[in-house]
Structure 1
Amino acid sequence: MTSCILLTGGAGFIGSHTHIALTAAGHKVVILDDFSNAQHSVPARLEQITGQPVTVIDADVRDADALAKVFATHTIDAVVHFAARKAVGESMAVPLDYFDVNINGLITLLRAMDRAGCRRLVFSSSATVYGVPDEAPTPETAPFRAMNPYGQTKITGEQMLGWLQASNPEWAVGVLRYFNPAGAHGSALIGEDPRDIPNNLMPYVAKVALGQLPRVMVFGNDYDTPDGTGVRDYIHVEDLARGHVLSLEKLLSTGQGHVVNLGTGRGYSVLEVIAAYQRASNRDLPHVITDRRPGDVPIYVARADKAAEVLGFRTEKGLDEMCASLWKWVSNMADGA
């Protein structure tokens, strides 16, 4: 069944890959993005990959008038909501900015959807809702523990959506708590492209491999992990995009919401990631140990069986494939593609 899907933040890293996956699945897609954390070249690259024109509205998700116009112009069947600020460290410094974009933006979007009678939403959540979890791999039943303002905005968003569904059974929401997205599209035409110094490990390592940064900063080596550095469950962005399609299609076919982790169930330390990227790039990556970063936690690894059961979702790509695809992407960009 062909549906028309609104992607807020659809020109960003995960949003752009989800656009490709949705288009491949036969859906029509409308992107809404203010390009605050995305390149204006992304829509043209998406057209090159998909062979189809890309519809883009340049607007902020907090702009109620712009959203009203989108729903008046297009018959939107469902929304996949990515538009948010997402850096843990930055959220500690500017929490009000995060509350404004991530919470007010969601409220503005939900009001526009409700007025338009569009009540199917895939919500981009995060493993940070678990704080420091009691167990790893971490199941969806783990309690909420906010360790930073970013994580709190995701907890608040999930709670709001839960109450909304309880108030009106016409709403169906897929909450996807994903772990650490990494890698790039196999075409090497799109990938993560942060404007400033990256907050996440993978793009930071990529800039070191390119010679754009001098060394990898390892924030802490005294965690209770095998080598003392933080452990994360990295998931290839193409796998993650496919998970969004499965969530969306589940909502459209059943009208029933769900909450699932999207991860591999396997964690890798910072030092293991550096080693894997050295193999992919065939370059030496100097690194230095420094103090722990405020708001970080020792380990995030997903318990991934519920996503398999509810959505039929299983990851297909491992860490080496993530590093290889990322290196291909950043090398392509460095060559001026």
Structure 2
Amino acid sequence: MQKILVTGGAGYIGSHTVVALHEAGFEPVIVDNFSNADKSAIDGIKAILQKSPTLYQGDCNDAAFMDQVFAKEGKIAGVIHFAASKAVGESVQKPIQYYANNINSLLVLLQTMEKHQCPHLVFSSSCTVYGQPDELPVTEATPKKQATSPYGNTKAVCEEILEDAVTAKYPIKAIALRYFNPIGAHPSAHIGELPIGVPNNLVPFVTQAAAGIREKITVFGNDYDTPDGTCLRDYIHVMDLADAHVKAFEFLEKQNQSSLIEYFNVGTGKPNSVLEVIQTFEEASGVKLNYELGPRRPGDVEQTYADVTKSTKLLGWKATRSLFESLRDAWNWQQKLSQ
């Protein structure tokens, strides 16, 4: 079994990708410092895999630590790099911390990979690099726009670092997956999204409101130029997203070049509004939500959704799970947390 290092492997997307890798016949090796994750995620992974995953607790910015991980594990076939600070609002308050952590961790990782002759990297990027697109749906050729937050800018800068490395014939084959809006949880309800404090994202706020943790939901803006006036997003089940990482690694293994960078959108290609999410959640859960319409929130993009033609053609991947399934699984996860 080929070993795949998963940085941030105890986090939301990372933990689900660890499961997907195992199911595809790989041996995932987790590195996490638990700054953005809870150790209960490791127990959840263990329950699904029926075995304890290999785990190293430490910081990806620590070059000596990363060198020890690679040395101890022997041949690592590739890395899936999730580890990063990720709260948009916090990044505005702590920009230096975000640049130091998100950018330096990639630089340390690339240097360690070169030292240990590990050529394959799947990088966790974001659709935030597109900003509010001039045309929809968004393709990989859609021009990037100035990020609206330091967090978003770290993703754009990391993509540029990978581009420069490839231009300089650095021995790295990389894919940057540009995620749209991951939601849901593993159908077993053993792992799912665990936001710290008040959720920044819609779906965990919805599930917490349904569970009585939040008093009500505020829909920010109902006067946008969309069918029902609320923002449109491309919501993708986290297990579909996890599968895309497996397909991305398998794609890299088939490439003959010693150095390359490719970008892929990872979404469903189908936009849903905030009100559609609320209504579909009520259908999936049987719970009536308390929500109100409020003013627009500064920085929110009106609408964005993916063209996934490239992912389908080159990776052989496409999302298969519905919005209903995503919200059902998210609710099952929330109910388990509330027990």
TM-score range, shorter chain: over 0.9
Aligned equivalent of 2:97? 97
CA distance in 1, matches of 2:204, 2:86: 14
Cα deviation for residue 129 of structure 1 reads: 0.3
Q: For each residue in 1:187-215, what CA deviation from the matched residue of structure 2 results, as whole angstroms up to 9, or x when unmatched?
A: 11100011211100011111000000001
Aligned equivalent of 2:79? 79
Aligned equivalent of 2:179? 178
Aligned equivalent of 1:321? 325
Cα deviation for residue 90 of structure 1 reads: 2.5
CA distance in 2, matches of 1:289, 1:99: 35
- Structure 1 gaps of 5+ residues are none
The alignment status of 1:4 with 2:3, answered yes or no, reads yes
In the TM superposition, 1:57-68 aligns within 5 A as 57-68=56-67
Aligned equivalent of 1:214? 215
- After alignment, is 112-121 or 312-321 more displaced? 112-121
Instruction: Identify the match of residue 262 of structure 2 among 231, 234, 258.
Output: 258
Aligned equivalent of 1:131? 131
- Structure 2 gaps of 5+ residues are none
Aligned equivalent of 1:244? 245
- After alignment, is 9-18 or 67-76 more displaced? 67-76
The alignment status of 1:274 with 2:273, answered yes or no, reads no
Aligned equivalent of 2:52? 53
Cα deviation for residue 87 of structure 1 reads: 2.3
Q: Are the equivalent residues in 2 in contact too, given 1:13–1:192 (CA < 8 A)?
A: yes
Cα deviation for residue 86 of structure 1 reads: 1.8
Q: For each residue in 1:268-327, what CA deviation from the matched residue of structure 2 results, as whole angstroms up to 9, or x when unmatched?
A: 111111111111221111112333333321111000111001100111101000000111
Q: Are the equivalent residues in 2 in contact too, given 1:233–1:267 (CA < 8 A)?
A: yes
- After alignment, is 280-289 or 296-305 more displaced? 280-289
Q: Are the equivalent residues in 2 in contact too, given 1:251–1:257 (CA < 8 A)?
A: no
Q: For each residue in 1:164-206, what CA deviation from the matched residue of structure 2 results, as whole angstroms up to 9, or x when unmatched?
A: 1121263100110010001100111100011211100011111
Aligned equivalent of 1:228? 229
Q: Secondary structure at the match of 1:325?
A: helix
Q: What stretches of structure 1 move > 3 A for 4+ residues in a row?
A: none
Aligned equivalent of 1:298? 302
Q: For each residue in 1:118-142, what CA deviation from the matched residue of structure 2 results, as whole angstroms up to 9, or x when unmatched?
A: 1210000000000110111111101
Q: Are the equivalent residues in 1 in contact too, given 2:163–2:261 (CA < 8 A)?
A: no
- After alignment, is 165-174 or 123-132 more displaced? 165-174
- AA paired with 1:308? T
- After alignment, is 218-227 or 59-68 more displaced? 218-227
- AA paired with 2:119? R
CA distance in 2, matches of 1:201, 1:315: 20
Q: Are the equivalent residues in 2 in contact too, given 1:59–1:66 (CA < 8 A)?
A: yes
- Matched length: 334
CA distance in 2, matches of 1:139, 1:89: 27
Aligned equivalent of 1:35? 34
Cα deviation for residue 88 of structure 1 reads: 2.3
Q: Secondary structure at the match of 1:235?
A: strand
- After alignment, is 296-305 or 215-224 more displaced? 215-224
CA distance in 2, matches of 1:94, 1:204: 23
CA distance in 2, matches of 1:307, 1:3: 23
Q: For each residue in 1:244-265, what CA deviation from the matched residue of structure 2 results, as whole angstroms up to 9, or x when unmatched?
A: 0000111122255421101010
Q: For each residue in 1:198-247, what CA deviation from the matched residue of structure 2 results, as whole angstroms up to 9, or x when unmatched?
A: 10001111100000000112222222222221110000001000000000
CA distance in 2, matches of 1:204, 1:224: 24
CA distance in 2, matches of 1:169, 1:157: 15
- AA paired with 1:193? L
- AA paired with 1:18? T
CA distance in 1, matches of 2:280, 2:88: 24
Q: Secondary structure at the match of 1:254?
A: coil
Aligned equivalent of 1:148? 149
Cα distance change on mapping 1:224 and 1:92 into 2, 3 Å: farther
Aligned equivalent of 2:203? 202
CA distance in 2, matches of 1:290, 1:107: 42
Instruction: Identify the match of residue 308 of structure 1 among 302, 305, 312.
Output: 312
Q: Secondary structure at the match of 2:206?
A: helix
The alignment status of 1:331 with 2:332, answered yes or no, reads no
Cα RMSD for the two superposed structures:
1.3
Residue identity (%) = 46
Q: Are the equivalent residues in 1 in contact too, given 2:162–2:261 (CA < 8 A)?
A: no
